[in-house]
Amino acid sequence: MSQSWDSAWETVFSSQAWGAYPSEHIIRWVARNYYKAPDRSAVRLLDLGSGPGANTWFMAREGFQVSAIDGSPTGIALLNQRLGKEGLQAETVLGDFIQLPWADGTFDGVVDNAALCCNTTANAARIVAEVHRVLKPGGTFCSTNFTDRSWGYGLGKQVEPGGFTAISDGPLHNKGFCLFMGRAAVDSLYSAFADTNVERISWTADDMTQLIELWVVTCRKPL
Ligand SMILES: C[S@@+](CC[C@H](N)C(=O)[O-])C[C@H]1O[C@@H](n2cnc3c(N)ncnc32)[C@H](O)[C@@H]1O
Tell me the per-residue pLDDT of 114-161, one tens digit each, with 9 for 90 and over.
Answer: 999 999 999 999 999 999 999 999 999 999 999 999 999 999 999 999
Q: Say what the pTM is.
A: 0.97
Residue 170 above 60 pLDDT?
yes
- For ligand 1, the distance from its centroid to the CA atom of residue 5, given in whole angstroms, is 9
- The pLDDT of residue 7 is 84
What residues flank ligand 1, with Cβ below 6 Å? 4-5, 9, 19, 49-51, 54-55, 70-72, 75, 96-98, 113-115, 118-119
Helix (H) or strand (E) holding 188: helix 183-189
137 Cα: distance to centroid of ligand 1 (angstroms): 25
The preferred substitution site among 12, 70, 173, 214 for testing ligand 1, maximizing ligand atoms within 8 Å of CB, is: 70
pLDDT band at 5 (very low <50, low <70, confident <90, very high): confident
Ligand 1 atom, smallest distance to 119 CA? 16
pLDDT tens digits along 7-64: 899 999 999 999 899 999 999 999 999 999 999 999 999 999 999 999 999 999 999 9
pLDDT for residue 1 is more than 70: no
Give me the percent of the chain exceeding a pLDDT of 70. 99
Rounded to the nearest angstrom, the distance between the alpha carbon of 118 and the centre of ligand 1 is: 7
What are the φ and ψ backbone dihedral angles of 120, each rounded to 5 degrees? -65, 165
Nearest CA to ligand 1 atom 8: 113
- Interatomic CA distance for residues 46 and 55, integer angstroms: 10
Query: C-alpha distances in angstroms, 187 versus 34, 194, 201?
Result: 25, 11, 17
Average pLDDT over the chain, rounded to an integer: 96
Query: Residue 84: is its pLDDT beyond 70?
Result: yes
Q: Whose CA is nearest to atom 4 of ligand 1?
A: 51
Residue 51 CA to ligand 1 centre (angstroms):
5
Nearest C-alpha neighbor of 143 from the set 159, 125, 155: 125
Distance 18 CA to ligand 1 centre (A): 12
Q: Residues 69-96: what's their mean pLDDT? A: 98
Strands 44-48 and 107-113: parallel
The confidence band for 2, taking pLDDT boundaries of 50, 70 and 90, is low
Measured from the Cβ of residue 32, the count of other Cβ atoms closer than 10 Å reads 12
Mutate to test the pocket of ligand 1, among 1, 3, 4, 5 (most ligand atoms within 8 A of CB): 5
Q: Is residue 174 helix, strand or coil?
A: coil
